[in-house]
Structure 1
Amino acid sequence: MSSSKPQLVYWDIRALAEPIRLLLRYLQVDFEDKRISFGDTSSIPSVLTPWFIQKYSHGLDFPNLPFYIDGDVRISQSFAILQYIARKYNLYGDTIEEQATIDMVSQVVNDLRWAAWVTYNDPNFRQIKDEWKTSVPERLGDLNKFLEGKEFVLGTKISFADFLVYESLEWYRQCIPEVFEQPELANLENFQKRIAEIPQIKEYLNSDNFKSWPFFAPIVNFGFSKDEDFKALPFSYRNFVAKYPLDPQ
């Protein structure tokens, strides 16, 4: 995989790679957004087969998606990729205090993403959705309070954390948009609009390069298909590992 351009490689979904795409688009980095299509979406693990065919062929220390290749740098793990790009282009704060704030917010956002992910993976998601929705304003309340009076996570200074926050909130907005109409989440709503209006981001969101859907793989109850009757593929960890052991063959 030789190229003079940096390459971001991930599934053809938003999920963990979209904050990286947003960051790169904001920085106007000329990169290759390489997307791996799913295989046979009628069964697990066949849906993930395209990745496992090539998993150990990229020279990665820890083969995983997404991964990023920038010259001699080859790294996996979405947070590591974000941090690498942010350090390279000076979007990781200017002081140790600012960096601590970015790290703190990043971990808070990771908790919020995990809460959404667990909910969307619940086999009874459609039955619990309304009840879960009532808990979201409180769950997002601290972040809403934190952003009060701020343009960005660091106040008036943009950082990679802003794109992480933006996309993570979209995990909620796409499922329960009405929640963001509530006055108690006005800071989050205004933050989302502010990020979307940044010229480079606005251009990206209105371009053919941006794919608003799907968010997640077909093993998740929400985010792959907009069909209300969509049933996620049953995922068995035991069967998955039996088919694709952790050790390379």
Structure 2
Amino acid sequence: MTVLSITKSEDVPLAPIDGKPTLVYWNSAGWSNPIRLALTVANVDFVDARIEAGDPSDSASFKKAWMDAKHVLGSTGILEFPNLPYYMEGDSVKLVQSEAIVRHVARKYNLYPTSMPEHRFMMLSEEIKDYDGYFILQSYVGGPDVISQFIKEGVPNKLAIWGKIAHDGNALIDGPDGKINILDIKLYCFLRKVKFAQEELNIKPCAQEGWVDAYMKLVEDVPEVKAYLDSDYLHRPLNNPHAKFASK
């Protein structure tokens, strides 16, 4: 994997860099950490292009690198719906929308779960996306108080259900003999955000998350995950500099 820090619009990729699959997003965890981790678990040699948003107090330059590049990507037809994240692979794969990207990666690199039918996988994948989406949205528009309420009141019941899906932390989602799959990756990335919020906002773990630490350790013990966490995994910031929560 190659990590690029991008500060100028002319450096925003318009095509796969050096012929490698190329993921482009902000220099934050946001919507892209599950994609980054999935590609890493699959041992894909990819380019992780991270755009610096800049100083939100400077309205003339804030997000300018992306906004200028977005116009080029759209006006030239390189992307039908230019947005972040986007993913380019070969001559034909040009994707936006985080869920579309993560499912493409999972399908191509055999990261779909094997212990359930596809319709159940799709439902569970969308569930995690909803939790993550709410966390991201409220980090920008709600702030610490809303995030705190979500962690205290919204998350516990969800964790109780996911504990059953994750075998009470005794195995990954595909069971004792299964390999890590895309649901493990998405769930793990969301659980990291829950842990981050608990620490930042002094929230005690709830009773329903007794399985979480053991489960997260199972994910972290996967060799590719362990190596990534120790190297290029983007632990923080979770969000861009103008967010009301987790912007640093």
TM range (shorter): 0.7 to 0.9
Q: Which residue of 2 aligns with 1:240?
A: none
Provide the aligned C-alpha RMSD in A.
2.4
Distance in 1, matches of 2:146 and 2:82, equals: 35
Using the TM superposition, give the Cα deviation of residue 197 of structure 1 relative to its aligned residue in structure 2, in angstroms. Answer: 1.5
1:32, distance to aligned residue in structure 2 (A): 0.8
2:128 corresponds to which of 80, 87, 109: 109
Once the two structures are aligned, what percentage of the paired residues are identical? Answer: 30
Structure 1 residues 101 and 47, CA gap change in structure 2 (3 angstroms): same
Total equivalences in the alignment: 222
Match of 1:219, SS state, is: coil
Alpha-carbon offset, residue 112 of structure 1: 1.4
Q: Aligned-pair distance for 1:127? A: 4.5
The 1:164/1:49 distance shift into structure 2, 3 A limit, reads same
Using the TM superposition, give the Cα deviation of residue 44 of structure 1 relative to its aligned residue in structure 2, in angstroms: 5.1
Matched, 1:90 2:110: yes
Q: Which of 8, 19, 27 is the aligned partner of 1:4?
A: 19
Indicate if the aligned counterparts of 2:147 and 2:197 stay in contact, CA closer than 8 A. no
Shift, 1:179, TM fit:
5.5
User: Of 213, 217, 223, which residue of structure 2 is paired with 1:199?
Assistant: 223
- The TM-score with structure 2 as length reference comes to 0.79
Given the alignment, which residue of 152, 174, 196 partners 1:154? 174
**Is 131-140 or 7-16 further displaced after alignment?**
131-140
Structure 2, unpaired ranges of 5+: 1-14
Alignment of 1:154-173 (within 5 A): 154-155=174-175, 156-173=178-195
Contact 1:109–1:168 (8 Å) recurs in 2: yes
- Take 1:82 and 1:180, find their aligned partners in 2: how far apart are those partners? 31
User: 1:185 aligns to what?
Assistant: 209
Letter aligned with residue 196 of structure 2:
Q
Is contact 1:86-1:160 (8 Å) kept? yes
> What residue identity is the alignment partner of 1:152?
L
CA distance in 2, matches of 1:168, 1:45: 33
| TM-score for the superposition, normalised by structure 1 | 0.79
* Counterpart Cα distance in 2 of 1:43 and 1:145: 48
Question: 2 CA distance for matches of 1:169 and 1:44?
Answer: 34
Is the Cα–Cα contact under 8 Å of residues 153 and 161 in structure 1 kept in the other structure?
yes
